[in-house]
């Protein structure tokens, strides 16, 4: 799992070559192979437009980690999109079919930003339950990040404790 503002085409292609699985949050509206059905808009060549055209699959409630056991009520949709590499890299990289999961806060409170996540994965997502599973995995990232932060602090402290006393 990762959060990335600039996941490159290289990442997706390397994952494909290595057979690695991923679940990342994206912000870039990548190029997409136009759908087979005609579209009334010119935006159908972009991933987010294709995902936007898909109806909502369902809703899911998640804990936000706020005070008093605060939760968020999220709408979820997902779509398999044939994603193209950037125009300048289309000779080097092949089209990839990736699953995009779009998650949107239904009625966020005024004291926090609404959840608005665009996740992409190469893991199978065939139904709402599978999409919710990936959403729950992604939501765990804060715990994973905190675990690594604590482990790094422990490692630094142990390194300090293992130094020989001064004067040796």
Distance CA 156, CA 113 (A): 34
Cα–chain center distance at 35: 23
Average pLDDT over every residue of 48-58: 95
What pLDDT, on the 0 to 100 scale, is given for residue 109? 84
Mean pLDDT value across residues 127-142: 90
Please give the pLDDT value at position 49. Answer: 93
pLDDT digits (tens, 9 = 90+) for 12-45: 878 888 889 999 999 888 889 887 766 555 567 8
CA distance readout (Å), 106 to 18, 62, 116? 38, 12, 10
Q: Give the range with max mean pLDDT: 28-42, 44-58, 60-74.
A: 44-58
Q: What was the pLDDT predicted at 66?
A: 65
Please give the pLDDT value at position 2: 47
**Does position 3 have pLDDT exceeding 50, yes or no?**
no
**Tokens, residue 60:** 């899911």
Per residue, the 3-state secondary structure of 119-152, as one string, reads EEECCCCCCHHHHHHHHHHHHCHHHHHHHHHHHH
- What is the pLDDT at residue 5? 45
Q: 128 or 71: which carries more pLDDT confidence?
A: 128
Average pLDDT of every residue of the chain: 83
Structure-model confidence comparison of residues 83 and 145, the more confident one = 83
Yes or no: domain 2-140 corresponds to CATH 3.90.350.10: yes
Question: Within 10 Å of residue 128's Cβ, how many Cβ atoms?
Answer: 16
pTM of the entire predicted model: 0.78
Q: What is the DSSP letter of 66?
A: -
Please, which residues bridge with residue 102 across strands?
Answer: 77, 118
* Sign of the CA dihedral with 5 first, then 56, 13, and 93 last: negative
| 83-99 average pLDDT score | 87
Residue 166 has pLDDT above 70, yes or no: no
Residue 5, CA atoms < 13 Å, CB-side half-sphere: 0
Lowest mean pLDDT among 100-109, 115-124, 146-155: 146-155
E strands present in the chain:
2-3, 23-25, 58-63, 71-83, 96-105, 116-121
Half-sphere exposure of 42 (CA within 13 A, CB side): 0
């Amino acid at each position: 799992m990762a959060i990335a503002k600039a996941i490159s085409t290289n990442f997706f292609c390397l994952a494909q070559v290595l057979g690695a699985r991923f679940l990342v949050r994206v912000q870039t509206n990548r190029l997409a192979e136009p759908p087979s059905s005609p579209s009334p808009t010119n935006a159908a060549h972009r991933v987010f437009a294709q995902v936007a055209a898909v109806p909502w699959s369902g809703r899911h409630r998640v804990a936000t980690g706020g005070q008093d056991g605060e939760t968020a009520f999220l709408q979820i949709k997902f779509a398999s999109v044939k994603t193209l590499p950037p125009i300048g890299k289309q000779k080097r990289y092949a089209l990839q079919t990736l699953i995009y999961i779009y998650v949107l806060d239904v009625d966020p409170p005024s004291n926090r930003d609404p959840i608005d996540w665009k996740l992409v994965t190469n893991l199978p997502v065939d139904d709402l339950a599978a999409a919710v599973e990936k959403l729950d995995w992604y939501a765990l990232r804060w715990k994973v990040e905190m675990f690594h932060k604590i482990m790094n602090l422990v490692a630094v402290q142990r390194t300090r404790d293992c130094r020989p006393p001064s004067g040796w």
